């Protein structure tokens, strides 16, 4: 990747945060031979703002777009959130609104408007429908149940949704974007939990005469309370949101970030901290760009020289300017800019 792009590797790659792939080498070989590709990633809009975990695939996808100078399609699955939500008080229109708001956060990451198409499924599904139908016919009900765990109490919309997430993997789903290029290679950066959708997609692709999409997977981003807990939009203290103020950030890190340190200062200095479970260290491994500094923190915290309060203070110091920059960029994203990137049009290679 460095030789093809002339750029240093992203920290997410250097540190194994994006840690596995399917057919990435084929994408790189095709690119080297002059065959372009496009990027595809997405988001299920369930909250007004994205949290740091949501940002990981977008930060990496934006890096790939800039490094390879390729188009990117970003799916906002407002339909999925409506179908899968257990909150019956929310209407479909609520998820459509959240999709629009999330698009502002996504664009603020730094995507190239001339190379980016963001779409809500409820707006664009008609254009993708021929491919959705082909995918649905190629996957049996038993296969869908085995892959996704559906049971007889699930609404029928859930059973059909996987084909909607699969369809953007095929460039023929975007005639306005790619014109006659109906079989472009596709690379999908995503969290590892999305792999079942795309294993299904890769199984179906040859049956439809399409290329299999390539994938590159990221590790999970832990909740503030640790890896055995889950970030929840309904419990704001489980995650750091890109909309959080400096005060909220400081409170969340100091109060809720799970510590791998000792129970007392004496115990910590004697035995050291456990970086494998310490959330502050794990967050630093995602967002502190300096490899040498990160290694120094790991050594000092593991030896007990650096205390829990100090590593939390370092995390706040790293995240605060990151959030401030994002908030400033988001404030500059207008509804007109969102309308532009949500309009199907030819994208620049």
Q: Please give the full DSSP string across 305-326, using - where no structure is assigned.
A: SS-HHHHHHHHHHHHHHHHHHH
Q: Please give the full DSSP string across 99-122, using - where no structure is assigned.
A: HHHHHHHHHHTT--GGGEEEEEHH
pLDDT tens per residue across span 33-54: 999 999 999 999 999 999 999 9
pLDDT exceeding 90 applies to what percent of the chain? 92
83-106 mean pLDDT: 95
CA dist 55 → 141, 270, 295, 331 (Å): 33, 37, 23, 17
pLDDT at 280: 97
Q: Which domains does the chain have, with CATH numbers?
A: 1-224 (3.40.50.620), 246-329 (1.10.240.10)
Cα torsion for 166, 169, 173, 178, to the nearest 10°? 170
| Largest Cα span, the chain | 68
Q: Which two tokens stand for residue 105?
A: 């956060």
Q: Which two tokens stand for residue 95?
A: 């998820």
CA atoms within 13 A of residue 37's CA, in its CB half-sphere: 27
Return mean pLDDT, the chain: 95
Quickly state the pLDDT bin for 348 (edges 50, 70, 90). Answer: confident
Q: Report the length, in residues, of the chain.
A: 349
pLDDT tens per residue across span 263-290: 889 999 999 999 999 999 999 999 999 9
Beta strand pairing status for 38-43 and 72-76? parallel
pLDDT tens per residue across span 182-216: 999 999 999 999 999 999 999 999 999 999 999 99
138-162 mean pLDDT: 94
Residues with Cβ < 8 Å from 135, sequence gap 6 or more? 162, 163, 166, 167, 201, 204, 208
Q: Please give the full DSSP string across 31-45, using - where no structure is assigned.
A: HHTT---EEEEEE--
CB neighbour class for 8 (10 Å; exposed up to 12, middle 13-18, buried from 19): exposed
Distance CA 185, CA 114 (A): 19
Quickly state the pLDDT bin for 87 (edges 50, 70, 90). Answer: confident
pLDDT tens per residue across span 221-267: 999 998 777 676 657 788 999 999 999 999 999 999 999 998 889 99
9-16 mean pLDDT: 95
Distance CA 251, CA 86 (A): 30
pLDDT at 166: 98
pTM attached to this predicted model: 0.95
């Amino acid at each position: 990747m460095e030789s093809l792009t002339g750029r240093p590797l992203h920290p997410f790659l250097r540190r194994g945060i994006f840690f596995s792939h399917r057919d990435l080498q084929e994408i790189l070989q095709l690119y080297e031979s002059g065959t372009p590709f496009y990027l595809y990633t997405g988001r299920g809009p369930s909250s007004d703002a994205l949290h740091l975990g949501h940002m990981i695939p977008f930060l990496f996808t934006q890096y790939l777009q800039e490094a390879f100078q390729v188009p990117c399609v970003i799916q906002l699955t407002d339909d999925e959130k409506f179908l899968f939500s257990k909150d019956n008080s929310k209407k479909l229109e609520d998820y459509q609104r959240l999709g629009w708001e999330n698009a502002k956060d996504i664009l603020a990451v730094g995507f190239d408007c001339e190379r980016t198409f963001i779409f809500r499924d409820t707006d664009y599904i008609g254009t993708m429908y021929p491919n959705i139908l082909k995918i649905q016919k190629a996957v049996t009900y038993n296969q869908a149940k085995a892959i996704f765990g559906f049971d007889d109490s699930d609404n029928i919309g859930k059973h059909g949704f996987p084909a909607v997430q699969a369809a953007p993997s095929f460039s023929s789903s975007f005639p306005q974007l790619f014109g006659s290029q109906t079989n472009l290679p596709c690379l999908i950066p995503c969290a590892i939990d999305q792999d079942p959708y795309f294993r299904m997609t890769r199984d179906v692709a040859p049956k439809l005469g399409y290329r299999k999409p390539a994938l590159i997977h990221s590790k999970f981003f832990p909740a503030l309370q640790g890896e055995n807990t889950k970030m929840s939009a309904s419990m704001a203290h489980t995650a750091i949101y890109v909309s959080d103020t400096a005060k909220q950030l400081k409170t969340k890190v100091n109060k809720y970030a799970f510590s791998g340190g000792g129970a007392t200062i004496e115990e910590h200095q004697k035995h050291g901290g456990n970086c494998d479970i310490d959330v502050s260290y794990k967050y630093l491994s995602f967002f502190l760009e300096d490899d040498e500094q990160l290694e120094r923190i790991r050594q000092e915290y593991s030896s007990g020289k650096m205390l829990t309060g100090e590593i939390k203070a370092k995390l706040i110091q790293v995240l605060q300017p990151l959030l401030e920059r994002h908030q400033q960029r988001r404030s500059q994203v207008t509804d007109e800019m969102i309308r532009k990137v949500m309009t199907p049009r030819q994208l620049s290679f």
